[in-house]
Structure 1
Amino acid sequence: MSLSTHVLDTTLGRPASGVPVALERLGDGGWTEVASALTDADGRISGWNPGPGRHRLRFDVPSSFFPEVTIVFDIADEKEHFHIPLLLSNYGYTTYRGS
C-alpha cells in the first residue's frame, strides 16, 4: 500500500512546490500525525505507507483564500495505491482519487 499526492496551482498553471503536507491517522485518541513533508519541485510527495484506516492529508497553503485544505479518506485495501491530487486556484480547490 502506498500513498502519493500532487499539488498543482491552476492559477499559475504549474506545480506548487514547497507546500507543507501532513499525513494523519484517526485513532481512539483522535488524529495523530504519522508523516509530513514538503512537495518537491514537481509538486509531489510519494512513498508514504499509512496502512488501513481513516486518514487525512492536511495541506498548508497560506497564499490562497483557504489557508489550509484537509482531505479525509478511508483506506480499506492495503494492496492498492492511493494518489490524491490537490488542484488549487485563488478561491477554490478540487481533489479526487487518482491512480
Structure 2
Amino acid sequence: MSAHRIQQLKGHILPENKTTAMAVSSSPLTTHVLNTAKGVPGSNMALSLHRLDPSSETWMIITTGTTNADGRCPGLITQQMFLSGVYKLRFETAPYWESMGETSFYPYVEIVFTINNPGQKYHIPLLLSRFSYSTYRGS
C-alpha cells in the first residue's frame, strides 16, 4: 500500500487533494442554508443578491443562484464588485418547501445587511424551518 493511501486511510488529506469552498469560490461574501427542521443542508434553493443604490433607493440585482448539495452558493460576488453599501440576500423559501411537499409560513426570506469594510470576508448563514428562521454574521 502506498504512503498516499495510508495517509488517506488515517483521515489525512494530502495538500494536492484538498479542496475547500474558498478554493471553489473566491467570493468575499458566502452563504450557507441549513434546514434545521430536518438537520440537512438547504439544497436547491433559489436566491439572489442585491445592492441598494443610495441615489435612487432602489435595489439593483447583482446575481442569482441556487444552493448546491451542501446548501452553499459559491461565487456570489467578485472582490472587484464588492463595495461598501447596503445589500440583501433573498432566499426563495416557498418553492424550496413545496419541492418537498410542504408549505412554509415565509414565502421568502430577505436578509438585509451593511458592508462597511469590503476587504473583509462575510458569511451570512440562514438557519431555516417551515415556521422560523435565524441568521448571523459569520466569518
- TM-score for the superposition, normalised by structure 1: 0.94
3-state secondary structure, aligned to 2:69: coil
| Mapping 1:68-83, distance limit 5 Å | 68-83=108-123
Q: Say how many residue pairs are matched.
A: 99
Bigger fraction of residues in helix: 2
- Which contiguous aligned blocks of 4+ residues in structure 1 show a shift greater than 6 angstroms? none
Bigger fraction of residues in strand: 1
Query: For residues 45 and 61 of structure 1, what CA distance do their matches in structure 2 show?
Result: 15
AA paired with 2:59?
W
- TM-score for the superposition, normalised by structure 2: 0.68
Pairing 1:12–2:38 present: yes
| Bigger Rg, structure 1 or 2 | 2
Query: For residues 46 and 3 of structure 1, what CA distance do their matches in structure 2 show?
Result: 9
Q: What are the ranges of 5 or more consecutive residues in structure 2 without an aligned counterpart? A: 1-26, 98-103
- CA RMSD in angstroms comes to 1.2
AA paired with 2:116?
A
| Mapping 1:1-99, distance limit 5 Å | 2-27=28-53, 28-29=55-56, 30-47=58-75, 48-49=77-78, 50-62=82-94, 63=97, 64-99=104-139
AA paired with 2:63?
A
